[in-house]
Structure 1
Amino acid sequence: MAKPKGKKAVKSSSRKESRQKQQQELDKLQERINNYDPKVDESSISQFSDLPITQNTLQGLKEANFVSLTDIQRKTIPIALKGEDVMGTARTGSGKTLAFLVPTIESLIRNKITEFDGLAALIVSPTRELAVQIFEVLTKIGKYNQFSAGLVTGGKDVKYEKERVSRMNILVGTPGRISQHLNEAVGMETSNLQVLVLDEADRCLDMGFKKQIDNILGHLPPTRQTLLFSATQSDNVKDLARLSLTNPQRIGVSSDQEISATPESLEQYYVKVPLDEKLDVLWSFIKSHLKSKILVFFSSSKQVQYTYETFRTLQPGISLLKLYGRHKQTSRLETTMKFSQAQYACLFATDIVARGLDFPAIDWVVQVDCPEDAATYVHRVGRSARFGRQGKSLMMLLPSEEEGMLKRLKIHKIDPKFMNIKQKSKKSIRPQLQSLCFKDPTIKNLGQRAFISYFRSVHIQKDKDIFKIDELPAEKFAASLGLPGAPKIKIKGGADNKEKKNASRKLLALAKADDDGETKDESSKVRTKYDRMFERKNQTILSDHYLKMTDAKGDDDSDDDFMKVTRKDHELNEDELPDLTLPNSKRQAKKALSKKASIASKGNPSKLVFDDEGVPHAIYELEEEEDFIKAGDAKTQKEDFVAREREVMKETDEVDKEVARQKRQEKKRKRKEIERRAREEELGSGDEEPVVATLGGIDLERDMEQPSSDEEPVSKKPKWFEEENKKTKKDEFVEYEQPETLEDLESLTAKLLGN
């Protein structure tokens, strides 16, 4: 009689069957991927369900309301699923994020990556906001997969990230913070990396992130899949060679076109505005579009701050926000979320917002300052008219910028329409700005900084056919900002100013006193090298000592002069001095001034090298003419010599690189060992190991509230503008925090009036 199977045996068999079923599904999907032909099968794919991807990914896409494929997704995802390197270029707002997230997740599934396999996918983004946006989409579509994922950006606590980053399968972050973790994080291995993604690739590969990207690439294995995506693409051979791409597939743009077209549903306009009327035009535009969502671009953060503070004081009737690079991480994320959720608002920002960010339903993109090139224009206007929605853009051009900028845009088939400004609807706010600058020194200081930063931003632009700093009306622009006059701009400081800045005031006063008290017989004074040394500028340590030494005025009886070193001028006998008179004859003068002539009697020195037999030779020894002719043509000998030296240098370079790599790895290994021991001691003392976050399980709001290392912990007391969940009784008191800004005071007043 057969014994019934136990519970363990039944569970083991069911697991085995589920594994076999999953493997069969993966084999079928892999077969569909291998048989895919872009020329034949591309037209038959219109939805995500038509793609050869797993059910878990499909379910996540469906719940996130991603059903139909965009053009770039239909062309890119099947090829990326094959494991090939891809360079994807498409209109901004066409869905490039899903074009690389779906192949990344599927690659990890097919390679059977688990939470114990370490880092398998790395997604690099140039800005924090774009990294957060990518991570949010990743958590939505990957919620049914068991991969661990992490978001690392600057401005957050490094120690908090270090404890968890080594156990992440998918890592999304900015170049600087990813590079830091690769150098310092314990247990963060990259030998199992499958996919590297560069979103906004042209920005990641430029000189601003060159050092960080090169460091990241130095830690990654060469056998990986690389995906590059951007609205504009770099064709620089050196940039692509750094990534070690193998036969990359270019999708979405031809090889002779660098910049893709703007969205088809975008209406593009431009106006010709003098520099001193820009703020008046912007104010009038905002006042006439109060029921709109507006994004305004400036060239510098100082202009953003000045415009925000002045317009907020004047109250145009719409919510105003500001966003630029030097904000704290929490403030930037809070501003991004507020603008995304607002129905009507106006955001003043720099080009940090120009790339990749998806703000819902932006009606107008206004460029107060001219973009530096056509690529920047494409990225700016691409914040509107995303995913087929309607949108409009307006660019303000100076008379000196109009011809050159329009010519650059026409090269890339971009032709904005000219728009006239109605003088009736235009209102000047110059008197109000002058009044604000007169009453508030802070506003005046912001105006001066905005003035200087604008001129500097024009000065550093490369295209001098567009940006002509000599034609800018400085006085009129300063008056338009409410300033009494144009601030002085010193873009390049002179040598005299630098010397005056570094000079010691006591030494200058001393030198002046010495000049006033000079005797007529100046030729009798003897100046030594110590005099010259103590009179040098910026000698802050020696100057006080010198003043003490020379401050004695004969008051030997004073208590302050006790044990004080005083300087004495010694008399020198003329007989003891060497003869420093000029030579009488020209031959003697020539011999004295010529180093070669002066050592001719002693012999011309030359360096010698000794061979193995001990025979001395000159460093540069010329061979005989007959031997040189026998060796062949001079040009051929030169080429052979250069080729040999090049090979030697190449071999030496490889050896040096290997030695540097080994030193870096050894340093990293020692640091990891020290941190690992410290962590083991903490775990041994009874502390529990932190739980690994899985895809979809990371609380983004908690990460946003996580204080950085240089910030104080956030108070748990609710702020005055936060809604309370519990209703308070009539007799109870409600406690609010002290409002710090004008905006806080306005909101507090509105809330109290509402109660």
Structure 2
Amino acid sequence: MTQPGFHDLISDVQLRKAIDALGYEAPTPVQLAAIPAASQGKNLIVSSKTGSGKTAAFLLPAIQAMLARASVNPESTRMLILTPTRELARQIVKNAEQLLKFTSFKVGMVCGGEELKYQKAMLRKNPEVIVGTPGRLAEHVSHKSTEFSGLEFLVLDEADRMLDMGLSEDVLKIANTCRNERQTLLFSATMEQKGLRHLIKQVILGEAEEIYIDDKPNAIVQQMLIADDFKHKEKLLLALLQKADFQKAIIFTNTKVRATQLDNFLRYNKFRVGALHGDITQDQRKVTLDHFRQGRTSILVATDVAARGLDIPGVELVVNIDMAYSGDEYLHRVGRTGRADAEGRAVSMVDAKEWNLTKSIERYLGVTFEVIAMPGLKGKYQGPDKIKSSGKSVGTKKKTAVKDKKAEAKPKVKVRERDKKNIGNRRVPKALTEAPAVDGFAPPKKKISKQLDDGGE
């Protein structure tokens, strides 16, 4: 049986023209499942891996429906898309503008990093589609500069990530100002996030169809380099980048300070690199990403602000110079490579402090990272010592040996200074070391302290 094409899913002539101009070929599994269901007016809860085409899966049916009918309220936004990061918002805006190229519809973006007054001026022009981050949009709701009373589509993209970032209150604040008769589409790479079901119940009004795409895992080789400390990691990183075959690589760190440090370090070593973190301006972020996409830089150093939503083709290598704080965060970091069934490679650098975290991530994902080494850079730390047949966790030591050793210790006998001079010259009288009995009663011998009996200090 022949798989349906985009022209089988989309009937609008203007949209078909845009699809052909973009060179879209066969729809992905999530698009095949979600577009017909959304076109029927259903609320959707969709789970599919990163890079699977979720953006087109919600844009195409919503735009087609809006083109086919008149607006409920000409002064209201018709489609609102909430997303966790500015990078993802910018990417969705770009895709929406491409699909709306042959229509009169306009797209607006509302994110942090820009002045409120300019965004308010844009909102007064009433674009049909608004893409934004919850934090900044919630500010506009407070200022009463938004109009969602006629909203037809509310889309939550990467809903679990918004929950991770503590944006659920802002999402609910925005959703409560939207038209109740709206159609809600919720998309996410994972659905196991704690609290996500509660958010779904509050945002989606009425029944919803759930779509789970059982994608085959991305073809990513997952490896681990064991390091002594961060200086050792820098040496390992240089050796890895010099040896690896890649056109584009992303290096993830956990802090803005370290991202800046690595950016300078790699520039000093003649690499073409850019940095992406929370302290740079909106214009700088745009320039950095454009240079990376265009190949003017080959390495992007980023904090987790870039872990979600970046759809940059050709990223062959991801390096975690700091291990991610959770399995989900790790998954979305390495999801920047191996996209659209391409092969990818992820290398995590692990020191003693990160060992237990790494092992917990392996258990969570059900994988085992391949341990590799860089020639001439083997460190002193090679993982915790193992206890033979102890049945205990790796890295723990038996306490019984210490207890027994202390239990065998004998109490010290106190010798007075005036008696030391006689030692060696004559025998110390028995009276000095043993008290005599008085009236047939002998005093008890000195007890060993309870601390010593218990193996304490």
TM-score, length-scaled by structure 2? 0.77
Of the three residues 353, 374, 383, the one matched with 2:336 is: 383
Equivalents in 1 of 2:165, 2:292: separation in Å? 31
The 2-side partners of 1:320 and 1:182 are apart by 38
Question: Hey, what's the Cα distance between the residues in 1 that align with 2:354 and 2:34?
Answer: 38
CA contact (8 A) 1:45 1:74 kept: no
**Given the alignment of the two structures, is residue 293 of structure 1 paired with residue 248 of structure 2, yes or no?**
yes
Tell me the equivalent position of 2:80. Answer: 122
Map Cα deviations across residues 277-323 of structure 1 (whole Å, 9 max, x no partner).
Answer: 2111112112224753110000111111112223323x2x3201111
Structure 1 counterpart of 2:133, which letter?
A: T
Counterpart of 1:323 in structure 2 is 276
Change (3 A) 1:324 1:207: closer
**1:183 and 2:135 aligned:** no
Partner of 2:203: 243
Match of 1:199 in 2: 157
Question: 2:110 — aligned with what?
Answer: 152
Aligned residue type for 2:223: Y
Distance 1:385 1:290, change over 3 A: closer
Cα 1:262/1:273, change in 2 over 3 Å: farther
Match of 2:128 among 143, 154, 169: 169
SS class of match (1:336): helix
CA distance in 1, matches of 2:106, 2:56: 18
Task: For residue 219 of structure 1, give the secondary structure of its aligned residue in structure 2.
Answer: coil
Distance 2:170 2:317 in 1: 35
1:192-231 equivalence runs, <5 A:
192-206=150-164, 208-231=166-189
Is the 1:88–1:230 Cα contact (8 Å) retained in structure 2? yes
Q: Does 1:308 align with 2:266?
A: no
Q: 1:645-664 alignment to 2 at 5 Å?
A: none
- Give the structure 2 partner of residue 50 of structure 1: 8
| In 2: Cα distance, 1:324 partner to 1:155 partner | 13
Shift of 1:235: 5.9
| Kept after mapping to 2: 8 A contact 1:125/1:175 | yes
Alignment-derived partner of residue 409 in structure 2: none
Query: Of 314, 317, 339, which residue of structure 2 is paired with 1:364?
Result: 317
Give the structure 2 partner of residue 525 of structure 1.
none
Which segment is superposed worse, 199-208 or 70-79?
A: 199-208
* Alpha-carbon displacement from aligned partner over 1:43-71 (angstroms, at most 9, x marks no partner): 75432111143111111111011121011
Any stretches of 5+ residues in structure 1 without a counterpart? 1-42, 255-259, 429-464, 467-755
Structure 1 residue 416, shift from structure 2 partner? 4.5
Contact 1:292 1:344 in 2 (8 A): no
- 1:343: how far off? 6.1
% identical aligned pairs = 29
Aligned equivalent of 2:63: 105
Q: Which runs of 5+ in 2 are unaligned?
A: 380-392, 395-457
> 1:197 and 1:285 mapped to 2: Cα distance?
41
One-letter code aligned to 1:249: E
Contact 2:223 2:372 in 1 (8 A): no
Structure 1 partner of 2:326: 373
SS at match of 1:112: coil
Contact 1:270–1:416 (CA under 8 A) maintained in structure 2: no
Query: Does structure 2 retain, via aligned residues, the 8 Å contact 1:261–1:412?
Result: no
More helix by share: 1
Deviation track 1:622-666 (CA, whole Å, cap 9, x = no partner) reads: xxxxxxxxxxxxxxxxxxxxxxxxxxxxxxxxxxxxxxxxxxxxx
1: CA distance between counterparts of 2:285 and 2:188? 23
Q: Which residue of the other structure, out of 252, 257, 282, is the alignment partner of 2:212?
A: 252
Q: TM-score, normalised by structure 1?
A: 0.47
1:350 to 278, 303, 308: 303
- 2:235 corresponds in structure 1 to 280
**How much does 1:361 deviate?**
0.4
Give the partner amino acid of 1:56: Q
Paired residue secondary structure (1:208): coil
Alignment-mate amino acid for residue 243 of structure 1: V
Please point out which of 206, 221, 230 is paired with 1:267: 221
Contact 1:114/1:147 (8 A) holds in 2: no
Match of 1:341 among 283, 287, 294: 294
Counterpart in 2 of 1:87? 45
> What residue identity is the alignment partner of 2:95?
V
Distance 2:260 2:271 in 1: 17
Deviations 1:712-734 (A, max 9, x none): xxxxxxxxxxxxxxxxxxxxxxx
Number of equivalent positions: 378
In 2: Cα distance, 1:110 partner to 1:102 partner:
12
Pairwise CA RMSD: 2.6
CA 1:72–1:86 in 2, change beyond 3 Å: closer, same or farther? same
1:451-471 Cα deviation digits (max 9, x unpaired): xxxxxxxxxxxxxx99xxxxx
Against the structure 1 CA distance between its residues 142 and 115, is the aligned structure 2 distance closer, same or farther, given a 3 Å change threshold? farther
Shift of 1:135: 0.3
State the SS of the aligned residue for 1:205.
Answer: helix
Structure 2 SS opposite 1:250 = strand
Question: 2:346 — aligned with what?
Answer: 393
Change (3 A) 1:154 1:404: closer
CA deviation string 1:322-369 (max 9, x = no partner):
110121111111111111111661111100110011112011000111
Counterpart of 1:420 in structure 2 is: 372
State the distance in 1 between where 2:66 and 2:36 align: 15
Q: CA deviation at 1:144?
A: 1.3
Distance change in 2, residues 1:82/1:44 (3 Å): farther
Hey, what's the Cα distance between the residues in 2 that align with 1:114 and 1:224? 11
CA distance in 1, matches of 2:339, 2:48: 12
- Answer whether contact 1:262 1:382 (CA < 8 A) is retained: no
Matched residues in 2 for 1:322 and 1:50: separation? 42
Conserved in 2, the CA contact under 8 Å of 1:162 and 1:185?
no
Distance 1:309 1:57 in 2: 45
Structure-2 change in CA distance of 1:296 and 1:60 (3 Å): same
